[in-house]
């Protein structure tokens, strides 16, 4: 049965990032397209740009940048294989843990999570000379991953470090980071933010890379984290800090949703009510400031209740005009000290402040923990075993989560390591009785521990231990204390370019026709189960990964109804379609519903007939 050209086929690769960009451009600038093709000079003119062919322009480049862009643009043919037995509460949880190369995984998630993730945190390799740099391969990234993780042959590929003696030491790191950060921006909500841990080795390059991808105008801040409190005496300087770089997808929108930090006991202790003001506790703040751009109305004389006359100190001015000062004085908002003879200060009432503190950029160890405290927590979780050297403290992650997200929003960490982020989300949710969701992605990077052979295995086991501890503490009703686990793997479908069919045209006509029959093949590989296929359809069609899957039997045919909040797809992968099912599809019950069949199960005439009743796609 030859495929009908009018039958729409399921696209079995991940979302093509350039298609989305070109579609957006076409909507915004139709004048830049001629006969369907983008004309660069027309686009520049539409943007008010004057064509200038000079090459002396500011740019950021490195050896291998062009290939990094090719890697970004190559769609993935892989899939995510559900691992129900390794998950916790697979059917009902919305938390996701994925074992695999994060670049391929994010490509697969892009269609489902496009502009849906509120916050991303990553702790990528710092490129210290001993860190593994992902060996991206433009020609066949999935094959590279499967070999690297010993999944497709006996040779495998060992993970290698990026030594400083390498001629492309910084370039290799940048080429690894570029496509991942580019895709990260695509999955962020418009008011979303990304937070990246880094040290001095690639700090400057990361800033340049982020400026190119996110735009310099969307830079939020650099946070200094005091990662250790002990002094390192073996070095020239004891390095006690790391950086956390934060960018927004849209700075203006992010600033509107940025949350305050909870008020600390130390901060609250500054407020009292020494004069029994009916408005409650208050603290006093200075009434003068640098004169800078002050107006003449901010320079005047103030007389204290005791009769003392005061003017602003040299180079300073009052923070309010004389008229505003008099209004504040009448409202009992000016404090002159216990003896009513001091320099005037403004009363600020606790009841009138926003419920929290503006985040500062210096994060002290006593506030957010250290690498030592994070490591101690891991050791306690794993009963005294040292299994991971560089975890991040959950207090540090909870601070970022608290600043940038709210209830029910999605957080992603695609260098998840020991899964500190998942741990932090569970703790914050149980403390606040909220339900943020996480997506953690980790490569099965080998360890030297036979009990915990890969980093992803450590992460999975940590999540399970945290869930068990929380469940023993309290019965958290309506709380999501589970996770779905997936593993990056080869597609469940056969692609024509994998068949390696060679047709010998020198054969007689009968043999030649028989050789053509090889092109009619079963698109579904042997020995794959329905759940794997359902999830590949979910991913490739862009449904929510947490879609519900229900089995329906119509005659002898097995139907899988896949449904999320907005979409519904009926999938039937049987090789023979019964008359009972075909008759059912003509029923009003299924009018204009979305159905996917194996291409070989329907002939051309039947496809044409079904298109009158349902929205038909074939694999």
DSSP classification of residue 298: G
Distance CA 261, CA 404 (A): 10
Q: Where among 433, 456, 489 does a domain terminate? A: 489
Mean pLDDT of the chain: 88
How many structural domains does the chain have? 4
Residue 118 located in a structural domain: yes
How far is C-alpha 21 from the geometric centre of its chain's CA atoms? 19
Residue 555 located in a structural domain: yes
Please name every residue paired with 190 in a beta bridge, in sequence order, or none if there are none.
none
How far is C-alpha 404 from the geometric centre of its chain's CA atoms? 13
Verify that 281 and 373 share a domain, yes or no. Answer: no
Residue 452 located in a structural domain: yes
Verify that 90 and 139 share a domain, yes or no. Answer: yes
Residue 301 located in a structural domain: yes
Predicted TM-score (pTM) of this structure = 0.83
Structure confidence by residue, pLDDT tens digits, 15-49: 877 777 787 787 777 767 776 778 887 777 667 66
Distance CA 429, CA 358 (A): 22
Verify that 609 and 474 share a domain, yes or no. Answer: no
Write down the pLDDT at residue 268: 87
- Is there a contact between 386 and 400 (Cβ–Cβ < 8 Å)? no
Write down the pLDDT at residue 2: 42
Verify that 183 and 60 share a domain, yes or no. Answer: no
Q: Which residue has the tokens 């691992």?
A: 83
Write down the pLDDT at residue 211: 94
Residue 6 located in a structural domain: no
CA distances from 339 to 139, 309, 328, 335, 440 (A): 80, 15, 19, 10, 60
Please name every residue paired with 65 in a beta bridge, in sequence order, or none if there are none.
none
Q: Where among 30, 51, 71 does a domain terminate? A: 71
How far is C-alpha 370 from the geometric centre of its chain's CA atoms? 24
Verify that 611 and 503 share a domain, yes or no. Answer: yes
Q: How far apart are the first and last CA of the chain?
A: 14
Write down the pLDDT at residue 87: 98
Verify that 218 and 100 share a domain, yes or no. Answer: yes
Write down the pLDDT at residue 509: 60
Residue 9 located in a structural domain: no
Write down the pLDDT at residue 498: 53
Verify that 134 and 230 share a domain, yes or no. Answer: yes
CA distances from 599 to 306, 452, 574, 603, 604 (A): 94, 43, 10, 8, 10
Spatial neighbors of 121 by CB under 8 A, at least 6 apart, are 194, 195, 196, 197, 397, 400, 411, 412, 413, 421
**Parts of the chain with a pLDDT under 50:** 1-5, 154, 156, 499, 501, 518
Verify that 387 and 415 share a domain, yes or no. Answer: yes
Angle CA 95–99–104, to nearest 5: 100
What's the residue count for the chain? 619
Residue 199 located in a structural domain: yes
Segment (H or E) for 431: helix 420-432
Write down the pLDDT at residue 468: 95
Verify that 157 and 51 share a domain, yes or no. Answer: no
Distance CA 586, CA 603 (A): 17
Verify that 84 and 142 share a domain, yes or no. Answer: yes
- Is there a contact between 286 and 295 (Cβ–Cβ < 8 Å)? no
Tokens of 350: 């606790």
Please name every residue paired with 552 in a beta bridge, in sequence order, or none if there are none.
559
Structure confidence by residue, pLDDT tens digits, 319-364: 999 999 999 999 999 999 988 999 999 999 988 877 788 899 999 9
Distance CA 420, CA 413 (A): 9
Range of the domain at 528: 496-618
Distance CA 302, CA 322 (A): 9
DSSP classification of residue 612: T
Q: Where among 296, 323, 352 does a domain terminate? A: 352
Verify that 66 and 101 share a domain, yes or no. Answer: no
Residue 4 located in a structural domain: no
Verify that 123 and 253 share a domain, yes or no. Answer: yes
Spatial neighbors of 471 by CB under 8 A, at least 6 apart, are 481
Please name every residue paired with 245 in a beta bridge, in sequence order, or none if there are none.
196, 222
Write down the pLDDT at residue 51: 54
């Amino acid at each position: 049965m030859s495929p009908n050209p009018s039958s729409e086929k399921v696209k079995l690769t991940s979302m093509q990032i350039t298609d989305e960009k070109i579609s957006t451009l076409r909507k915004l600038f139709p004048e830049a397209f001629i006969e369907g093709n983008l004309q660069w000079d027309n686009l520049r003119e539409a943007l008010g740009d004057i064509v200038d062919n000079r090459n002396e322009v500011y740019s950021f480049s490195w050896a291998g940048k062009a290939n990094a862009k090719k890697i970004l643009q190559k769609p993935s043919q892989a899939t995510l294989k559900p691992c129900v037995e390794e998950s916790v509460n697979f059917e009902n949880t919305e938390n996701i843990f994925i074992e695999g190369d994060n670049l391929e995984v994010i490509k697969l998630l892009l269609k489902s999570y496009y502009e849906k993730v509120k916050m991303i945190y990553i702790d990528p390799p710092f490129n210290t000379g001993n860190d593994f740099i992902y060996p991206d391969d433009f020609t066949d990234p999935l094959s590279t991953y499967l070999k690297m993780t010993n999944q497709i042959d006996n040779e495998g590929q060992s993970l290698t470090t990026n030594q400083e003696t390498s001629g492309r030491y910084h370039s290799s790191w940048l080429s690894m980071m570029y496509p991942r950060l580019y895709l990260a921006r695509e999955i962020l909500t418009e008011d979303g933010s990304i937070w990246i841990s880094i040290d001095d080795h690639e700090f400057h390059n990361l800033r340049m890379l982020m400026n190119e991808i996110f735009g310099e105008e969307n830079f939020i801040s650099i946070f200094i984290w005091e990662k250790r409190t002990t002094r390192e005496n073996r070095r020239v300087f004891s390095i006690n800090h790391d950086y956390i770089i934060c960018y927004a997808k849209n700075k203006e929108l992010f600033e509107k949703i940025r949350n305050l930090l909870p008020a600390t006991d130390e901060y609250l202790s500054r407020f009292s009510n020494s004069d029994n003001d009916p408005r409650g506790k208050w603290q006093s703040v200075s009434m003068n400031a640098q004169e800078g751009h002050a107006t003449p109305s901010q320079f005047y004389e103030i007389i204290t209740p005791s009769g003392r006359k005061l003017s602003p100190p040299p180079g300073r001015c009052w923070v309010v005009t004389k008229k505003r000062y008099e209004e504040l004085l009448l409202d009992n908002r000016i404090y002159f000290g216990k003896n009513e003879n001091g320099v005037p200060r403004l009363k600020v009432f606790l009841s009138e402040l926003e419920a929290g503190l503006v985040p500062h950029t210096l994060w002290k160890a006593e506030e957010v923990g250290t690498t030592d405290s994070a490591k101690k927590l891991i050791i306690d979780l794993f009963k005294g075993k040292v299994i991971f050297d560089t975890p991040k403290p959950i207090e540090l992650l909870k601070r970022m989560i608290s600043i940038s997200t709210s209830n029910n929003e999605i957080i992603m960490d695609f260098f998840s390591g020991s899964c500190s982020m998942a741990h932090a989300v569970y703790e914050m949710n149980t403390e606040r009785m909220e339900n943020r969701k996480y997506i953690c992605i980790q490569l099965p990077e080998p360890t030297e521990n036979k009990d915990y052979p890969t980093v992803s295995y450590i992460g999975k086991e940590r999540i399970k231990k945290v869930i068990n501890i929380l469940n023993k503490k309290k019965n958290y009703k309506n709380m999501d204390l589970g996770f779905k686990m997936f593993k990056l793997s080869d597609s469940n479908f056969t692609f024509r370019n994998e068949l390696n069919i060679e047709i010998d045209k020198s054969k007689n006509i009968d043999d030649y026709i028989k050789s053509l029959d090889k092109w009619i093949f079963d698109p579904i590989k042997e020995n794959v189960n329905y759940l794997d296929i359902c999830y590949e359809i979910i991913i490739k069609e862009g449904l929510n990964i947490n879609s519900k899957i229900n089995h329906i039997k119509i005659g002898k045919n097995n139907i899988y109804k896949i449904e999320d909040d907005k979409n519904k797809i009926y999938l039937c992968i049987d090789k023979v379609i019964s008359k009972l099912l075909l008759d059912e599809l003509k029923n009003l019950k299924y009018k204009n519903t979305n159905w996917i069949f194996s291409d070989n199960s329907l002939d051309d005439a039947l496809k044409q007939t079904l298109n009158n009743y349902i929205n038909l796609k074939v694999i």
